[in-house]
Amino acid sequence: MLLVGRKRRHSRKYALAALFAGLLLIAPHPAKAAPGDDADRAGRAVQRAEAVLEHATDLARAAARRLETATAAMPAAQKKVATSRGTVDAALAAAKSAGRRATAARAAYAKVADRFQLARDRADSARERVDEIATASYMGSNFARLNVLVDASGPSDMMDRLGIVEQIMRRQQEDVDTLVAARREARTEQDRAGVAKRAAEEAETAARDRLTAARAAQAAAERARVALAKLTRIRYAALKVATAQRSVVLARYQQAKAEEARIETALRGYSVKSGDAKYGGGRLLMPVTGWKSSDYGQRYDPYYRVWQLHAGMDIAAGGGTPIRAAAFGRVIRAGYAGGYGNYTCISHGKISGVGFQTCYGHQSAMLVDVGQYVRRGEVIGRVGTTGASTGNHLHFETRFDGAPRNPVNYLPPCLC
């Protein structure tokens, strides 16, 4: 299990090194996640960063939080930029297409309107001619034609004059027929012009809408680009701050390592000298009501490229939550221990000649003293965030002759 975890962390290390080659500081690689869980992903990333950087400075931890938050948001921001670019391209193409359709519709309407005007002009001309005929009839033209026939000098002259009258009447009928046809054509062209005009207006409206959509898409794309640029600046600034804290943080890591060695030596010395009885056996009692927030094991700090042992299990709980002795035993340490803060250790006896101890770190209050015997489940302190801690939790350890072992192997499987 631990080996798999180390391989995974080493793989992450190499991926990060490739991403930020040339930098003194290696930043975490953006993790992939489904859309919609950006906030949860960022929250988890920040928690991991805070857990790894317990021994770092406040400035380094703050930089790591900003870096992790920005890094977690990068994939969504990058996707938004890429999507918005596609949206802009599609919107511009749609706007151009709609513009071409509007131009074609306007040209078609212009042609139909020209034909309608010609048809209306022909109808007007035909109507003027018919009006002249009607006026002439009203003014007695028909009587004049009759007089022409009456004044004929003979049958032959009568026939000639009758042919002239028929030609005049046929010409008048043709003028009427022309008017009727011209009006029919004018109405047809008028209908076509109306359809073409509506089509042109609709095409122009569609073109305006597409252009508005394209402009909105361009504005959204610009906002997405600005947001991505801002995230990039935040990440760069966070890297810069964290790099500046490198020497201080590494010194703290060395202090924490030295503190762990001192604790292990002191507990081993107690175990060798003590005459504690054999451990009573059985699984330990869960020391606090809460939830596991960090595991035991080696941690790789991707910010400062340092491996460090997290010697216990972190159990998150509210400040002041009671901490109970995991088993019967004797208090062998109770005091401030550097990065461990308020730190209590209890000896529970020996297993195969090896002293078995549990330790409790970051307490806000220690309620027992060295040399005091405590019962299983007895309240020995309160949850806090003293020492190198980024929030209220209990740092719980199981040790054998002072050497730390994974607490999960000795606690109830349900951690309850």
pLDDT, tens digit, for every residue of 211-223?
777 778 778 778 8
pLDDT, tens digit, for every residue of 202-258?
777 777 787 777 778 778 778 878 878 887 787 777 778 777 888 887 888 888 888
User: CATH number of the domain at 275-409, please?
Assistant: 2.70.70.10
**DSSP state letter for 296:** S
Domain range list for the chain: 15-244, 275-409
Of the pLDDT bands very low, low, confident and very high (cuts 50, 70, 90), residue 31 is: very low
Residue 204 structure tokens: 């122009």
Q: Could you tell me the strand order of the sheet in which 365-366 lies?
A: 322-324, 379-382, 365-366
Mean pLDDT of the region 372-381? 97
Of the pLDDT bands very low, low, confident and very high (cuts 50, 70, 90), residue 7 is: very low
- Cα→Cα distances 327→186, 319, 347, 351, 378, Å: 106, 23, 9, 14, 9
**DSSP state letter for 284:** P
For residues 257 and 253, give the distance between their C-alpha atoms in angstroms, rounded to a whole number.
Answer: 6
Q: Looking at residue 180, what is its pLDDT?
A: 64
Q: Is the dihedral of CA 63, 68, 73, 74 positive or negative?
A: positive
> Would you say residue 345 has pLDDT above 80?
yes
Element (H, E) at 270: helix 246-273
Helices vs. strands in the chain: H and E counts, helices first:
6, 13
User: CATH number of the domain at 15-244, please?
Assistant: 1.10.287.2610
pLDDT, tens digit, for every residue of 165-189?
555 566 666 656 666 665 676 677 6
Rounded to 10 deg, the angle between the 155-244 and 246-273 helix axes is 50
Which pTM does this prediction carry?
Answer: 0.55
Query: Strand 354-363 and strand 313-316: pairing?
Result: unpaired
Whether 403 contacts 415, CB under 8 Å: no
> Would you say residue 22 has pLDDT above 60?
no
Q: Name 381's Cβ contacts closer than 8 Å, sequence gap at least 6.
A: 322, 323, 342, 344, 360, 363, 364, 365, 366, 367, 368
pLDDT, tens digit, for every residue of 105-162?
677 767 766 766 776 776 677 567 666 666 655 554 554 554 544 555 556 555 554 5
Q: Looking at residue 268, what is its pLDDT?
A: 92
